[in-house]
Amino acid sequence: MTISRREFGLALGVALGALPLAGAAARAQDAPTFVFTAIPDQDESRLVQRFTKVATYLEGKLGVKVKYVPVKSYPAAVTAFTNGQVQLAWFGGFTGVQARKANAGAQAIAQGAEDANFTTYFIANAATGLEKSADFPKAAAGKTFTFGARSSTSGRVMPEHFIRQAFPGKTPEQVFPTVGFSGDHSRTIQLVQSGAFEVGAVDFSVWGLEQKAGKIDDAKVKVIWQSPPYPDYQWTVRGDVDQTFGAGFTEKLKAAILAVDDPAILEPFARSKFIPVDNAAYAPVEEVAKATGLLD
């Protein structure tokens, strides 16, 4: 079979025209995926739903593939960040401090508007008879008590600080006959509501989300004290992302997070918006963690 010059020219043109498209597809396929994680501070299914929306949003803004990877514990989130398995993380105040100390150049870039003045709720099973007070509930001494995760800012680090302030010279184990660690805030609420523990410390924002979800029985569990404010959650990014994803990527990422205004993304965080923040804002958390022996 012979091919005319005209047919050959057409075929060659089509082939050459496809080269830029093939090259673009190859580059897109070869481009690294931007991966992020978050501390598992509450019900896992809720977290997957929340951060899948964040991944979709960031992918549209950043022009790269974005993937959320869940972890099973607070230390696992810090380890994944330190090892470079993820480039971005939604940390609590304390885990953010840990991650940045282990990663030169890592930056806190954004926090929820509510995170600048975050609080812990001390909650009690109704059977204890404890009532809400403006001052630390010293009557809780002698009750069984549960923190959240061991590395939780609002569920462990700051609550321990307030307990030590209220009972000078004593550790939580000397104030309460039994001290537990639930693992996350949702679980803390469940344990106190069920009576498995009499008193617990919980993130105020998770308490609000659990109330909206109808998971709190006011006849069984109540807030007995709201702590003074402190800085908490934030988005922290590794210092090498510009090297991996191109100059200016960190600023582009920060701008994308600060621009979030979709209630479908913000409401699952129990945040009204994200605002700029820097590493220095978390110095108070670092000081408390060192004073309580939780950070070297």
Enumerate the CATH 3.40.190.10 domain ranges in the chain, comma separated. 29-116+231-291, 119-226
Give alpha helix (H) positions in the chain: 5-30, 44-62, 74-82, 93-102, 158-166, 172-175, 185-194, 204-212, 241-245, 249-258, 263-266, 283-291
CATH fold group of domain 119-226: D-Maltodextrin-Binding Protein; domain 2 (3.40.190)
| CA–CA dist 274, 76 (Å, integer) | 25
CA nearest to 62, candidates 99, 107, 84, 32: 32
Give me the mean pLDDT over the 204-222 stretch: 96
| CA–CA dist 278, 276 (Å, integer) | 7
pLDDT at 114 over 70: yes
pLDDT band at 44 (very low <50, low <70, confident <90, very high): confident
Q: Which residues contact 138 (CB under 8 A, 6 or more apart)?
A: 166, 167
> Which of 41-45, 113-117, 239-243, 274-278 has the least mean pLDDT?
41-45
What's the mean per-residue pLDDT of the chain? 92
pLDDT at 181 over 90: yes
- What are the tens digits of pLDDT across the range 254-269? 999 999 999 999 999 9
- pLDDT score for 3: 53
CATH superfamily of 29-116+231-291: Periplasmic binding protein-like II (3.40.190.10)
pTM (2 decimals)? 0.84
Instruction: Spell 200-236 as b/e; 16+ CB within 10 A means b.
Output: bbbbbbbbebbeeeeebeeeebbebbebeebbbbbbb
Question: Length of the chain in residues, anyone?
Answer: 296
- pLDDT score for 58: 98
pLDDT at 26 over 90: no
Q: Helices 158-166 and 283-291, interaxial angle, to 10°?
A: 60
- pLDDT score for 15: 46
pLDDT band at 5 (very low <50, low <70, confident <90, very high): low
pLDDT at 4 over 50: yes
